[in-house]
Every structure is written in C-alpha cells, then in structure tokens.
Amino acid sequence: MKKYDITFFDLDIGAPSATIAEYGVSLNVAASKFISEWKYGKLGYDKARKLIVIHVHNDDLRSDGSFLISDKVTNNGYIRINSRDFVRTVSQYCEVSLTPSFRCLAEWDPDENYLVIDLKKVLDTSKTSDQNTQ
C-alpha cells in the first residue's frame, strides 16, 4: 500500500476544467488530455448529481450517438463540443443558467472511462455555484 495518494499538478496547463456556455461545452488542455487519445465520445448528464459526463470508447460498433473526438480538437489543444440542444437540456434538468458561461472542475473516472464535469464545482473566482443555479 502506498503511503500517499498524490496527484501532481501541472503548472503549465492548470486544472482540468470545462466551460459550459450557450453554444456547448469546451474542455481546456488539461481536461482534453484525458480523452484526446480515444476515438469516440458520448455526452450524457446526471440530473440528481448535476454532472455532465463524456463517455469515451474506441468501439466502432457502438459509435451511434457518439462524436469523433479528433473532429472536436482545436489547433490549441482544446476540445469544443457544440450542441445548443444538449446544454439547454442540461440547463433545464440540472437547474443551471448558461449566461454567463461558467467554468467547472473536470475529473477523470478510469473505472467508467468518463470525463466527469461537476456543475457544482465552479472554478471561476467571480462566480459561485449559487449564482449559476436558477
């Protein structure tokens, strides 16, 4: 058993985060690194826990409803997923406002192959989760 369970922080790329806005979801470089090597991603949400999840996989047979991750990577290493319908649905069911946009903590769940975006863990210092709750 390890004495410590340390997660080292990369000062160059910062905290893994996602920006939630009216157009969709953008992952910063730190969050993008978790999923950029996978072929497919599938968007979902958890109403009760107020989470957005991106389930990643490489299975061509399960590609229905998935997006090609490589198509979403920008030149600067961010991943941008445009879907107004998705974020409007999340806004309604998870009771968060999309204006102004807000940045949330993103964490990797290796057991499920999920990138988990917690809508309650807002990283912007000028905003709190209470301000983003309708």
CA distances from 38 to 5, 54, 89, 103 (A): 26, 11, 26, 23
Q: How far apart are CA 70 and CA 72, in angstroms?
A: 5
Locate 36 and state its tokens: 């950029």
pLDDT of amino acid 51: 98
Bridge partners for 27 per DSSP: 18, 79
pLDDT of amino acid 3: 93
51-57 and 17-21 beta bridge pairing: unpaired
40-46 and 67-68 beta bridge pairing: antiparallel
> Would you say how long the chain is, in residues?
134
Give the pLDDT confidence of 55-91 residue by residue, as tens digits: 999 999 999 999 999 999 998 999 999 999 999 999 9
Query: Sorting pLDDT into bands at 50, 70 and 90, what band is 126?
Result: low
pLDDT of amino acid 2: 84
Give the pLDDT confidence of 11-52 residue by residue, as tens digits: 888 899 999 999 999 999 999 999 999 999 999 999 999 999
